[in-house]
Structure 1
Amino acid sequence: MIHVDAPRARRALLAALVAASVAVPVSGAARPGAVPAPVPVPLPALRAAPEVLAGRYAAARSGILAAERAADRHGDRWRAAMLRAMADPARRFLSFDGRDGGRAVEVFGDLPSAGRIAVVVPGSDTNLDKYGLLRGGSLRLLGELGDRSAVIAWLGYRTPATVSLSALTSGLAERGARDLRAFVRELRAARPGARISLLCHSYGGAVCGLAAPGLDVSAVVLVGSPGVTVDHAAELRTRATVWAGRGAGDWIARVPHVRIGLPSGVLGFGADPVSPGFGARVFPAGGGGHSDYLRAGSLPLRNIARIVSGLPPVRAVDGA
């Protein structure tokens, strides 16, 4: 942990804490977790056999439809409409839980034949009401990867609100990391020969950092990350190559990259992942903002796809 002597960094982080504490009553009341949903049905173990996957997709779809009916009874038409779209038989969910803002794990591409698999771990304020943003980025990444690829949108944890106390600490990330580790182990058992990469955006970087030790993946790609709860990539204790990128217009650069011990816990996430001292391989991520890493035709999308494929990043998009 960094013991901060810089008063400016401490003041900046504590100012964010104060702002979050003021915003919590407002943002908390609007949290999508207020929409009720039933307990999800048990799912069969993840296996790559098509018939096993079909059974798991069908079970998850039943859970989505049950949550849609609950949202409709609750009078939340927006959530109900989102869930009806998710229940389309053409879509493939490995798991679903509509409670407390929602969890969903969706497959894009042909998982049984995929030689490379990207698991996209989103950051704060990702929930069922905003799931379309995660889905859109995952589809664009799949299109860039091409044949024999799969992308898994892993909304497998309760994300914090961007303006909240939880977004400044690793509590939710610790619980998310436990479930991410379990999922990747299950995925590895189902696809033992595939190249699996984690793509971790924003607060999702903290989730991946906590999940990384000993995890059998080829790459951990951090984008727009405030930090991963350690001060050097070697502390992640992973054989995976750790990559980091940040767009020139990403506001996350202004977040103090520190960890401050207080009686109530630890604030902050440690070193800046794109700093030379952290030790990650830094790739060109263009000039975009915090939500632009999977934007169509962008340099970061191109480079993320190349890293997932085991290829070196480039400095510019063709024709740029």
Structure 2
Amino acid sequence: MRRRFTGRWWRGGLAALLTGAVVVPLSGAARPGIPAPAPAVLAPLSAATLEAAYTANRAGAAEASRTAAAHGFRHRAAADRALAAPDRRLLAFDGRGAGLATEVFGDLAHAERIAVLVPGSDTGLDTYDRFRATAVALYQRLTDGRTAVVAWLGYETPGTVSATVATTGRAEEAAPALRALVTALHTISGPGADVSLLCHSYGTVVCARAAPGLDVTDIALIGSPGTGAGSAAGLRTRARIWAARGAGDWVAHVPHVSADLFGTTVGLGTDPVSPAFGARVFAAGPGGHSDYFDPGSRSLTNLARIVRGETAAVSRD
């Protein structure tokens, strides 16, 4: 549903947009890009080339760590060095700028089910550990030996306080990479594997843009500010669409509207947990915006059930 901002929402939204448009470029200019070698050139991904990809990407992370350290970026050097550890399984790695990484938990080549986690704003290699923790928590909750979890930091996420986060532009840029990942996962694990997308915050916008015709069984939208689509049907997918929001999530206060402003559509539209959107709404408990994967939480329990295909067991309240 599209309507124009009015009254205080119009003034407040416009002020936030203009503030973000000014603050973000200036803050970005104050932080020079972190140098790193170009990503490793890999053979097409398959079960046969998987271990070689892991090895090459660990080597790339080690080289990126040395480069970052040589230029005085100690925090990034430490983050890259951790990713280069022998037990890390990196399907992809790019240490340049904010950085990109795709990490696997479990036996991807023999997985019957695969959960892909898609992060929201302010996620990069410098903050990767907190995103990785969500994947670890889910993987530990599944513990069935037949499910792999993929932490996909495969796009440049927007800043939480920015003009970009209120539009679908960054998601439209990211969607082809997410679609390519899903295709690669089916190549590695075989066409019979069930793939679920678990999308958080701005990541829900990315998943919505990638959804049409995508070969996935479930898409879960958690802590979503809106997807840019007016309804679940508007995602044009046969996947089951789920949505949840914790009782303490600040995103509940984001206005679910959209407006044409200076030639750009600002705002992300219908609330995915509203009846108007038409998703399968499930219980997320009392948690806040960053709590959906907390061990023992109702939201994590339900997300694990979705990944396992236990749809009747997903609690609605």
> Structure 2-normalised TM-score?
0.94
Residue identity matched to 1:61? R
Inter-partner Cα distance in structure 2 for 1:195 and 1:140: 20
Name the structure 2 match of 1:291. Answer: 290
Residue of structure 2 equivalent to 1:310: 309
The one-character-per-residue Cα deviations of 1:18-53 (angstroms, maximum 9, x if unpaired) are: 33234325532465x62111111211212123xx21
User: Which residue of 146, 149, 153 corresponds with 2:147?
Assistant: 149
Instruction: Please give the root-mean-square deviation of Cα atoms over the aligned residues, in Å.
Output: 1.6
1:100 shift after superposition: 2.1
Contact persistence 2:283–2:298 (CA under 8 A): yes
| Paired residue type of 1:314 | S
Residue 57 of structure 1 pairs with residue 50 of structure 2? no
Q: Residues of 2 paired with 1:66 and 1:130: CA distance?
A: 19
Rounded to whole Å, the distance in 2 between the matches of 1:8 and 1:311 is 44
Which string of whole-angstrom CA distances, capped at 9 and with x for unpartnered residues, describes residues 122-150 of structure 1? 00000000000111110000011112111
* 1:37-48 correspondence runs (5 A): 37-48=36-47
- 1:24 paired with 2:24, answer yes
Q: Are residue 76 (structure 1) and residue 73 (structure 2) matched?
A: yes
Matched to 2:99, the amino acid is: G
Conserved 8 A contact 1:226-1:252: yes
Match of 1:176 in 2: 174
Structure 1 unaligned spans of 5+: none
Letter in 2 for 1:141: L
Could you tell me which residue of structure 1 aligns to residue 228 of structure 2?
229
Counterpart position of 2:163: 165
Partner of 2:246: 247
Q: Name the amino acid aligned to 2:278.
A: G
Letter in 2 for 1:174: E
Q: TM-score, normalised by structure 1?
A: 0.94
Q: Say which of 81, 86, 98 aligns to 2:83.
A: 86
CA–CA separation in structure 2 for the residues paired with 1:61 and 1:5: 48
State the percentage of identical aligned residues: 56
Partner deviation per Cα, 1:160-197 (whole Å, 9 max, x = no partner)? 11111111111111111111011111212222111100
Q: Tell me how far apart the structure 2 counterparts of residues 58 and 153 of structure 1 sit (CA, whole Å).
A: 18
Q: Does the aligned pair in 2 maintain the 1:43–1:95 contact within 8 Å? A: no
Q: Deviations over 1:226-269 (max 9, x none)?
A: 11111111010000000000001111111111111122311111
Aligned match of 1:13: 13
Q: Secondary structure at the match of 1:104?
A: strand
**Other structure's SS at 1:270 match:** coil
Which residue in 1 is equivalent to 2:92? Answer: 95
- Corresponding residue of 1:216: 215
Deviations 1:95-141 (A, max 9, x none): 00111200100000111221111000000000000000111110000
1:115 paired residue number: 112
SS at match of 2:259: strand
Q: Distance in 1 between matches of 2:7 and 2:227?
A: 22
Which residue pairs with 2:199 in the alignment?
200
